[in-house]
Structures are given as structure tokens and as C-alpha cells.
Structure 1
Amino acid sequence: MKIKDHVSIVTGGASGLGEATVRAIVEAGGKAAIFDLADQRGAELAKELGDAAIYCHVDVADEKSAEDGVAKTVEAFGAVHSVVNCAGIGIAAKVVGKKGPMPLDQFSKVISVNLVGTFNVTRLAAVRMIENAPNEEGERGVVINTASVAAFEGQIGQAAYSASKAGIVGMTLPIAREFADHGIRVVTIAPGLFETPMFASLPEKARESLKAQLPFPSRFGRPAEFAMMVKCILSIPVLNGETIRLDSAMRMQAR
């Protein structure tokens, strides 16, 4: 699918992987709707990018909020050709810690934002994609979701985060098979350690410990590299129903 004149919804688009994706799409001649709760950052980014971007205050886990964001995108740009789900949170907590069991609302919150939010925006955007005229390959749209290597090798304290990301991996193929009849592809990216606000908040000792687990290149991934993968997925019609690891050959240790 050509990115020029392409309209993409990017959740979590005001920072990190999402921001890099928004910038890459606009630089390639596309248009982007930034879905986020960071109003100041989102509005500033949209203003910087001009007519090629809009900001929508969207809680991805809330049905009405996401519906309004999709409607605003169609009103501004006339269509939705892809959605890149980058919105996510992480709460580190043992299932049973020194103060007792992990609060259930913490687990539910991570699942709600990461997994339910991804599903929510996917289903609402797909309704709009189905309305598109197919291109020469029969494509009407592309869904790109963000999982994590934690979906496969979750560390101690990552039960909620790993479960949410494993859920994203698990629904990739079923949705790709369902959407095939409509010419909509579904692909998931599973990043390893990337320079995002989530990792920037870690203590330096923890960052160095994690970096030591990266075979090559032995550095955190750059958001622009994630965006490069998004562009590749959009451009390769046969890439469908797959989860792609971006992790420097990393396999996470237990701690």
C-alpha cells in the first residue's frame, strides 16, 4: 500500500514509537491522526506537521472516545487506510509481593489499555477501511499492532504486561484471517528494548543491565527504526498475519 496520500491513525502518537511513526508517515507523503491523552504534546506535534496531521484526545480503551476519534479522522481526511496501535502502559508488580497480592485493578488497567484498547481501535478503524476502494493488489487497509518480546519471555513482575502483549500476538492471525475477505492485512511488531519514555524512566543501573542482554547491536532500538518497520509493512502486500520481533536477537532473562 502506497503511503503517499495514505491516512493512518496512530495511537500513542504523541511520543515514543507512535510519534516516530507519525513523523515517518507524514514525511512519506501520508496523513496522520494522532490518538493520545497527552494533549499538549499531541497538539504541538500536529501543529508542527501542519495540514498533514490532526490531534485527537482519545482514550483507546473507551468505546465512545475511540469512535469520536475515528469519526474526526474521517471528517478531516476523508478515509482511514491504516491504524498503528502504539498506545500502551506498563505496571511492574509481582503477583504476590511483600505487601500481599497484586491489586486486581492494576492488572485490569494494563489489560484494558494494552489489549482491549488495541482491539477497540482496530475494530472501529476496520469498519472504515472496509468502505475503501481496493487498490491494484485488492488492499483496502492495514492494521499494525505493537506487542513486545515480553509476550514470549516475560520477566518477573511483568505478568500483566506480558499477558496484555501475548493477547495482541494471539489475536493477530485470527483477525488477519477474518479481514482477508475485505482486503485488510494485520501484522504485529514485537519490539525489544527501545528508547521510549517508558524505558527512559528506568534507573541507569537497570538500563545498563538490560542493555547487556542485547547481542547485536548492543544498544536500545531507536523509535525511527520501529517507524521504518511500519513503512515496510505498509509497503509489502504479502506480509500478513505475522508477528515480527525487533530485538537485536535478545531473549529476556527472568529478572
Structure 2
Amino acid sequence: MQIEQHSFLVTGGASGLGEAVVRAIVAQGGKVVIADLNESAGQALTDELGANSRFVRCDITSGEDVQAAVDMAERAFGGLQGSINCAGIAVVQKLLDRENKPADLEAFSRGVHINLVGSFNVARLVAASIAKRVAAGAYASNADNGIIINTASIAAFDGQVGQASYSSSKAGVVGLTLPLARELSRHGIRVMTIAPGVFATPMMDTIPEKAREQLEAGVPYPKRLGAPNEFAKLVTHIIDNAYLNGEVIRLDGAIRMV
């Protein structure tokens, strides 16, 4: 699928990996609906990028919010060809604290609800929009009509102590990939997942410099944090390469967390 003149929904698109994806798509002639909870950053990015972008405040766990974002894409750009879901949170807590008190169940559930249920929510509504247009003859059958790209994490495979919520939710995102790809194949919609390693995002700015240096040292090559534009480059390649489907790609400089 070409990016030029096609429209995409990017969740978490106001900052970090999502912002890099938004910029890359617009730079290649595509159109983007930026869905994010950060209204000031999202609107500022839309103002900067111009007519090929729109912003909508969106909680990805809300069916109404995501449908409003899909509807905006249909109104503004005449349809939707795909989504890149970058929205998510990291919940850090041990199963038992130092006094052997159990973890907070609500915090665990919140991570799973946003990262996993939110990803499913975006996928189901974007797929419905594309499938309806395919059924109506707007897109060709047996063609590359749509793409859904979800964001997991290397924590899905190499979860650390305290990452039970984050790791299990991202493992769930990995688990969505193949069954959704198989189901949506009849509509010409592909489903892919990227599992990024340690990236230089706003979330990383909150950790101490020493911890950041340790993370960088753990990457075999290149020995640094990943750049958001490297994530965006993989997204644009996945969109362009029609034979990539039903797979999870680790983008991590060969790091394996122990």
C-alpha cells in the first residue's frame, strides 16, 4: 500500500513514537488523524503539519472516542486505510511489596485495559470502517486495502520484575496479531505488530541518567537508545510492503533483557 493520498489513524500521535509516525506519514504525502489525550500537543502538531492532519482527543479504551476519530478521518479525508496504535502506559509494581502485601489489582487492570483492550478497540473500529468500504466497492477485493499496526514491546518476551501488568498486556498485543490477520485477510486488511526495545521517548526522560546509561550499555549494537524516527521508518516500510502480515517484528538493537 502506498502512503501518498491515503489516510491513517495514529493513536498516541502527539508525542514520542506516535509523533514520529505522524511526521513520517505526512512527509510522504499521507493524511493523518492524530488521536491523543494531550490536546495542546496534538493541536500544536496539527497546526504545524497543516491540511493533511487533524487532531481529536481520544481515549483508546472508549468506543465512542475511537469511533469519533474514525468518523473524522472519513469526513476529512474520505476514508481510512489504516491505523498505527502507539498509545499505551507502563504500570510498574511488584506482585508483593517488601512487606509481602499484594499488588494493587486496579493498577494491574488499568495497564491491561489500556494496552491490550485499547489496542483491540482501535483495531475493531478501524477494521469495520475499511471493511464497509470494501463491501461497498470503494476498494478492490483481493487488494491491499488496509493495514493495522499495533505496538507491543520487548517486555512481551523479556519481562522484568515489576512489569507484570506491562509485560502481560504487551504479550496480549502480540497474541492478537495472527488471529486478527487471518480473520481480516478476506477484506485485504493486514495486521502487524512492532515490539520496540528501549527508545528515546518522553517516558525515558523520567528515569535517572545512570539508569539510562545502563540501558544503552545493554544494547549490543548500536549502543544507544532507539530513535523515534527509526520506529517510524519501520512503520512506513510495513505499510509499503504488502507481504508483511501476521508477524511481530522486534526493533531493539538485539537487546535481550535478563
Bin for the TM-score computed over the shorter chain: over 0.9
- For residue 11 of structure 1, what is the aligned residue in structure 2? 11
Contact 1:191–1:246 (CA under 8 A) maintained in structure 2: yes
Shift of 1:199: 1.3
- In structure 1, the residue corresponding to 2:10 is in which secondary structure? strand
Shift of 1:189: 0.3
**Of 168, 171, 174, which residue of structure 1 is paired with 2:173?**
168
Quote the RMSD (CA, aligned, Å): 1.1
In structure 2, C-alpha distance between the alignment counterparts of 1:233 and 1:137, rounded to whole Å: 18
In structure 1, runs of 5+ residues without a counterpart are: none
Report the AA paired with residue 166 of structure 1.
A
Matches within 5 A, 1:1-255: 1-98=1-98, 100-130=101-131, 131-132=133-134, 133-134=138-139, 138-253=143-258
When the two structures are superposed, what TM-score results if normalisation uses the length of structure 1?
0.97
Contact 1:9–1:83 (CA under 8 A) maintained in structure 2: yes
In structure 2, C-alpha distance between the alignment counterparts of 1:179 and 1:198, rounded to whole Å: 33
Shift of 1:47: 0.7
- In structure 2, the residue corresponding to 1:221 is in which secondary structure? coil
- In structure 2, the residue corresponding to 1:185 is in which secondary structure? strand
Contact 1:129–1:141 (CA under 8 A) maintained in structure 2: yes
In structure 2, C-alpha distance between the alignment counterparts of 1:35 and 1:73, rounded to whole Å: 11
Structure 1: which 4+ aligned runs deviate by more than 3 Å?
A: 132-137
Report the AA paired with residue 229 of structure 2.
A
In structure 2, C-alpha distance between the alignment counterparts of 1:78 and 1:115, rounded to whole Å: 29
In structure 2, C-alpha distance between the alignment counterparts of 1:206 and 1:129, rounded to whole Å: 43
Report the AA paired with residue 148 of structure 2.
V
In structure 2, runs of 5+ residues without a counterpart are: none
Identity of aligned residues (%): 50
For these two proteins, the number of residue pairs brought into alignment is: 253
Shift of 1:71: 1.0
Contact 2:141–2:187 (CA under 8 A) maintained in structure 1: no
